[in-house]
Structure 1
């Protein structure tokens, strides 16, 4: 896609000799060259990925009275996220607050 440098509208393609891009609003015309110049020799630098979470995740969600399906502990941390389309209900992610369990489950 090419945009007009004068009015920022989308340029239209016209296949005539020579081919060109043109703007319907301000009548800007840009001829298309027959030969395309390809630049070679661009060296990409390798960059290490930066971790998003370092170490153990701390409590970020609110706590609620939810029963863990693994250990039956009565408290859990929860967080809601929209994982499907906007007209669907949000998904609730739980994490058991029992230090020996820390089981994760979700409720759709």
Structure 2
């Protein structure tokens, strides 16, 4: 995405037409930027994957209320839960569960 250096509007791409090369033009002011057919990469930026933070941390598991819910992964009958309003106010709350089995720690929601 390119922006007009004069007014800051987003430049529109115009295809080559009747011998005129392809160009970017500003819909608000008379700015025009012609370019060659090749694409030039201005900068390369390496993407870094951010670590995913758990919804229920270890501190939350210690203090969270417990419910007798069966874990879908291991079948353990006790899980900690937390409620969050993830959608609009007229929708029901989302219940996030975390299995309390030490080897499992599976999380799911309802």
TM-score by length of 2: 0.52
Match of 1:28 in 2: 31
> Does the CA contact (< 8 Å) of 2:66 and 2:81 recur in 1?
no
Give the gaps of 5 or more residues in structure 1: none
Backbone CA RMSD of aligned residues: 4.1
Shift of 1:35: 4.5
Shift of 1:106: 4.0
TM-score by length of 1: 0.52
| Alpha-carbon distance between aligned partners in 2 of 1:107 and 1:35, rounded to the nearest angstrom | 49
Greater fraction helix: 2
| Alpha-carbon distance between aligned partners in 2 of 1:96 and 1:37, rounded to the nearest angstrom | 51
Spell out, residue by residue over 1:62-92, the C-alpha distance to the aligned partner (whole angstroms, 9 max, x if none): 522522335555xx5323453xx65753431
